[in-house]
Chains A and B, each alone.
Chain A
Amino acid sequence: MEAVSINSLSKSFNKGAIQALDAVSFSVQEGELFGLIGPDGAGKTTLFRILTTLLLPDSGEATVYGWDIRTDYQKIRREVGYMPGKFSLYQDLTVEENLSFFASVFGQKLTDNYALIQDIYEQIAPFKDRRAGKLSGGMKQKLALCCALIHRPKLLFLDEPTTGVDAVSRKEFWEMLKKLKAQGMSILVSTPYMDEANLCERIALIQNGKILSIDSPQGIIKQYPTPLYAVKAKNMISLLATLRQQEQLASCYAFGEYHHISFKSQDAQQLQQLQQTLEAAGHQEISMLAIEPSIEDCFIELMH
């Protein structure tokens, strides 16, 4: 059974001035960890709000575990967990009160599914009497995840759970997701961080309400159309300026320690010629190597 099935879903705001979703279609398999990767304004939150039955689409169909988002919304709400991008727990209830509240809304006791959240909850348990509004960002995030899980949903919707979170905490959060997946939970997670794509089984790249590509991270990388090279020199800023003047290049973008480039046509001599051009332009300590594209390279390529 498909956990989520979306067929040509569209949604606009402001009388059509903003097309938030434009005929989006994809499906999430049961037990799958599926990533929705795209920048702010891509339409990720709108899609989550439609799938969690908080917003109606203009057109198109969607089902969650076979239930229709328009007619079977009560069933869907019972079976999914949703962690919105914006912190949405009760700020003036304590950690423990929030958790009990969300359990009781689903007609359950805190203890019923405690095993599922134990690993995560133990990290915030020392602060169980603190009001949620007084928690640190990292702890709020963990509490929100516990509240979304407390009724043991079949499917977890996580809208940008790692935005604004530092690199170490992001890694920890993804470890938690892996454990939940291992217990059979289906997860649809969105993120603007391209490097997190590799942690998903399949991903959809989304921009301006349109899906650019859907595949496994490796599958998307394999579709990159040309060989890609990384170039480095002593002065990276002026190297970027020189590279941008080279007409034989199809693309040129800064990627941390290196600049990534691709050529318009494939010719064995090109690398050597470029090396000579860069030397002639006064660049020092030049190094070039063929590399495998990252998801971010693919996203940039697909944006054009």
Chain B
Amino acid sequence: MEAEKVIQTVDLSKHFGDFIACNAISFEVFKGEIFGFLGANGAGKTTAMKMLCGLSAPSSGKATIAGFDIYKQTEAIKKRIGYMSQKFSLYEDLSVLENIEFFGGIYGLSQQEIKQRGQQLIDQLGLADVAKNMVGSLPLGWKQKLAFSVASLHDPEIIFLDEPTGGVDPVTRRQFWDLIYAASVRGITVFVTTHYMDEAEYCHRVSIMVDGEIKALDTPENLKKQFQVDSMEDVFFELARGAQRLGD
């Protein structure tokens, strides 16, 4: 049986005036896959991600996310995905519990579901002692782990993570990846961007965008073979060095 495709794009493009931010990208992501979405600053990653989340209409091309059309069914898409970025994740001046209640409500969970899953989440992360503390008072690493769990509170099919581990200490960064592995094992697809090249190695498959196009897409092992280098960092250098754009 063929693996279920949860993201499927064909020639997806986005133009801003005569600037082509995203140029006919075509790829598929499978259920439970950890998909690394790499690229230099300004390569078009954010533009592509916004389209995939249903936040920005494409200029041309086709895509389905969790089986829904990227043009007509954006509201259905938003219910089936989770999103977390490094910059904005949770409300700092709400407590841990209040954030869970707020986002649970946004995702349309019932009061009972919120209570039950919230408790589960707090136990899993060992946050019982600080559940009533403001999120702003938590260390960055805890915040990011909590933000990830909140983004998956509604059991989404896909979680989009935009540089989730930037600036996080090395131990917490690895604990964060444990959460990603666990989500993947539960069948959640993880779509992740990062500037840490060691993290590219943790992905099942990796795509590398350069100047609005996907220039390479394969497992880390095959990419290293293809470019005859020893590390994903070198694969990235090989591709991104040729970039024409001057960053975002």
CB-CB under 8 A from B233, the residues of chain A are 167
Interface string of A189-209 (1 = CB under 8 A from B): 000111000000000000100
Assess whether B140 is interfacial by the CB under 8 Å rule. yes
Residue of B with least CB distance to A18: B137
Contact of B167 with A165 in the complex, beta carbons under 8 Å: no
Interface string of B173-216 (1 = CB under 8 A from A): 01001000100000000000001111111100000000000000
Contact of B248 with A257 in the complex, beta carbons under 8 Å: no
Residue of A with least CB distance to B140: A40
Assess whether B246 is interfacial by the CB under 8 Å rule. yes
Assess whether B88 is interfacial by the CB under 8 Å rule. no
**Among the listed B163, B197, B248, which residue makes an inter-chain contact with A167, where contact means beta carbons less than 8 Å apart?**
B197
User: Which of A102-110, A214-222, A248-256, A261-269 forms contacts with chain B?
Assistant: A248-256
Assess whether B169 is interfacial by the CB under 8 Å rule. yes
Contact of A254 with B40 in the complex, beta carbons under 8 Å: no
CB-CB under 8 A from A254, the residues of chain B are 174, 177, 198, 202
Assess whether B54 is interfacial by the CB under 8 Å rule. no
CB-CB under 8 A from B169, the residues of chain A are 38-39, 42, 207, 299, 303
Interface string of A222-264 (1 = CB under 8 A from B): 0000000000000011000000000000000111110000000
Given A136-B248, A138-B247, A166-B41, A303–B163 Cβ distance below 8 Å? no
Assess whether A296 is interfacial by the CB under 8 Å rule. yes
**Among the listed A136, A167, A253, which residue makes an inter-chain contact with B240, where contact means beta carbons less than 8 Å apart?**
A167
> What separation, in Å, do the CA atoms of A196 and B243 have in the docked complex?
22
CB-CB under 8 A from B17, the residues of chain A are none
Contact of A41 with B139 in the complex, beta carbons under 8 Å: yes
> What separation, in Å, do the CA atoms of A168 and B166 have in the docked complex?
16
Min CB gap A220→B, angstroms? 14
Contact of B231 with A257 in the complex, beta carbons under 8 Å: yes
Contact of B171 with A41 in the complex, beta carbons under 8 Å: no
Min CB gap B94→A, angstroms? 18
Given A41-B139, A138-B247, A167–B236 Cβ distance below 8 Å? yes
Assess whether A164 is interfacial by the CB under 8 Å rule. yes
Assess whether A137 is interfacial by the CB under 8 Å rule. yes
Contact of A39 with B140 in the complex, beta carbons under 8 Å: yes
Given A136-B246, A139-B247, A254-B174, A166–B240 Cβ distance below 8 Å? yes
CB-CB under 8 A from A139, the residues of chain B are 246-247
Given A41-B140, A137-B247, A166-B39, A256–B163 Cβ distance below 8 Å? no
CB-CB under 8 A from A165, the residues of chain B are 41, 195
CB-CB under 8 A from B197, the residues of chain A are 167, 256
Interface string of B31-48 (1 = CB under 8 A from A): 000000001111000000
> What separation, in Å, do the CA atoms of A113 and B203 have in the docked complex?
47
**Among the listed A167, A237, A303, which residue makes an inter-chain contact with B195, where contact means beta carbons less than 8 Å apart?**
A167
Given A168-B243, A256-B197, A300–B170 Cβ distance below 8 Å? yes
- Residue among A168, A170, A192 facing the most chain B CB atoms (10 A cut-off): A168
CB-CB under 8 A from A192, the residues of chain B are 166-168
Given contacts A137-B248, A168-B241, 4 further A-B contacts (CB under 8 A): A39-B170, A166-B40, A168-B240, A169-B40
> Chain B: residues with CB nearer than 8 A to chain A?
39-42, 86, 139-141, 163, 166-172, 174, 177, 181, 195-202, 220, 231-233, 236-237, 240-241, 243, 246-248
